[in-house]
């Protein structure tokens, strides 16, 4: 089934105060290190006049750091990951990365398009995860544009050749990160193809609004997700195809709830399957022409919070269940279960194999668009 991806026509906004016309956001490019083959990995830091800064690295077009103040004005990095390039090369774990060509899981690394069967490498048990063994998170993107101004921005480009990780068609993708004086961090993914293919690109930022190294982790974060239904999975995290009401389940975040209240409630077999939350919430039925609220996250102690808005129909919420103490990250912290959360606006998992889900098909002449806006705030 063909589906046109609509461009967003409006951005709603909330801010930490009213932006002054005298303020201007700044973009600064530097080097984050070199790959083993000698290629340089650029880092671009976007900074506004309100104490927010975001650093994006060209490896995986990744959000490497996001600094924001708490209610006392103390600035902390709220993105877990690594301080240096070596960590991203040795054990990447999708920290802050752009994931694709197809984000999330494809059952058994297999799908059919126009009667032809395609295979992509399996890297999550029997399934393919986030594009396969060398997805968009593990390639060096080209920095094509860096701008300062009312919104500081960086645009990166990657051309995935026909047959890359088994996917058909040459896919040209642009990732643009921008930060404005309303404290909105916007991530926009656009892609075009020269032949029919499947596309589902998202961002895999790991959030701990308490700040990197905070011993309380992220399980005290209070989450709201405006979804009536979610898509349960089998034991391998592949959706069964059902849309199940959240009412009366541990998946009901229609009213604000702390993640830790129910994340280990294994009386629900879905929690046992994922060792916590690693599921898709059904926000809508299709990509929309304007952005809508996907989630609200508040860290009560620091007062830091964000609202996530996007044009996508699905939200994958992952509660950091598979971090097991084998990774040492920023500030020498050992990352453990529940130290950070991920919220990925996207199309549904295994959509290439599930005709009842919104289509991930992209045809020549169409433009794929995933637009996500993090409205950063500090509650006083």
The string of pLDDT tens digits covering residues 213-235 is: 899 999 999 999 999 999 999 99
The predicted pLDDT at position 19 comes to: 40
pLDDT at site 380: 78
188 part of the active site: no
pLDDT score, position 14: 29
Is residue 142 part of the annotated active site? The answer reads: no
Catalytic residue among 204, 221, 243, 279: 204
Q: Across residues 93-114, what is the average pLDDT? A: 98
Residue of 189, 174, 175, 178 whose CA lies nearest to 153? 178
24 — pLDDT class (breaks 50, 70, 90):
confident
- The 10s digit of each residue's pLDDT in 306-330 is 999 999 999 999 999 999 999 999 9
Q: Give the mean model confidence (pLDDT) for residues 370-380.
A: 95
Q: What is the mean pLDDT of the chain?
A: 94
Confidence of residue 6 (pLDDT cuts 50, 70, 90): very low
Q: What Cα–Cα distance (Å) separates residue 349 from each residue in 95, 127, 279, 280, 359?
A: 19, 11, 9, 7, 11
Q: Hey, what are 332's tokens?
A: 């020498």
Average pLDDT over residues 8-27: 50
Q: What is the spatial distance between Cα 352 and Cα 315, in angstroms, rounded to a whole number? A: 17
Peptide bond preceding 359 in cis form (omega within 30 of 0): no
C-alpha closest to that of 139 among 109, 173, 181: 173
Q: What is the pLDDT of residues 336-353, one digit of tens each?
A: 999 999 999 999 999 999
Task: For the full predicted model, state whether its pTM sits above 0.85.
Answer: yes
């Amino acid at each position: 089934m063909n589906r046109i991806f609509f461009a967003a026509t409006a951005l709603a906004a909330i801010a930490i105060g009213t932006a002054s016309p005298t303020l201007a956001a700044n973009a600064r490019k530097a080097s984050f290190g070199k790959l083993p083959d000698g290629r340089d990995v650029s880092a671009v830091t976007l900074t506004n006049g309100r104490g927010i800064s975001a650093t994006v690295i060209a490896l995986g077009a990744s959000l490497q750091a996001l600094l924001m103040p708490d209610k006392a004005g103390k600035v902390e990095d709220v993105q877990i990951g690594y301080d240096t390039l070596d960590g991203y090369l040795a054990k990447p774990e999708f920290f802050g990365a752009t994931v694709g060509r197809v984000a999330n899981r494809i059952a058994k690394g297999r799908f059919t398009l126009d009667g032809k069967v395609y295979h992509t490498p399996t890297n999550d048990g029997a399934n393919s995860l986030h594009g396969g063994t060398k997805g968009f998170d593990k390639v060096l993107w080209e920095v094509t544009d860096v701008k300062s101004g009312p919104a500081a921005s960086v645009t990166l480009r990657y051309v995935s050749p026909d047959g890359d990780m088994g996917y058909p068609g040459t896919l040209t993708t642009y990732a643009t990160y921008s930060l404005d004086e309303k404290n909105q961090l916007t991530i926009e993914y656009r892609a075009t193809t020269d032949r029919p293919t499947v596309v589902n690109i998202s961002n895999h930022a790991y959030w701990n609004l308490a700040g990197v190294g905070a011993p309380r982790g992220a399980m005290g974060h209070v989450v709201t997700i405006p979804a009536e239904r979610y898509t349960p999975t089998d034991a391998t995290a592949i959706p069964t195809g059902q849309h199940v009401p959240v009412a009366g389940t541990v998946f009901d975040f229609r009213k604000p709830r702390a993640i830790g209240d129910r994340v280990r409630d294994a009386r629900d077999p879905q929690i046992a399957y994922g060792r916590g939350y690693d599921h898709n919430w059904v926000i809508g039925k299709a990509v929309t022409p304007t952005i809508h609220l996907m989630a609200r996250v508040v860290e009560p102690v620091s007062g830091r919070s964000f609202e996530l808005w996007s044009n996508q129909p699905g939200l994958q919420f992952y509660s950091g269940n598979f971090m097991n103490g084998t990774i040492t990250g920023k500030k020498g912290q050992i990352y453990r279960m529940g130290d950070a959360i991920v919220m990925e606006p996207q199309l549904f998992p295994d959509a290439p194999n599930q005709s009842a889900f919104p289509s991930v098909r992209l045809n020549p002449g169409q433009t794929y668009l995933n637009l996500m806006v993090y409205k950063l705030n500090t509650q006083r």
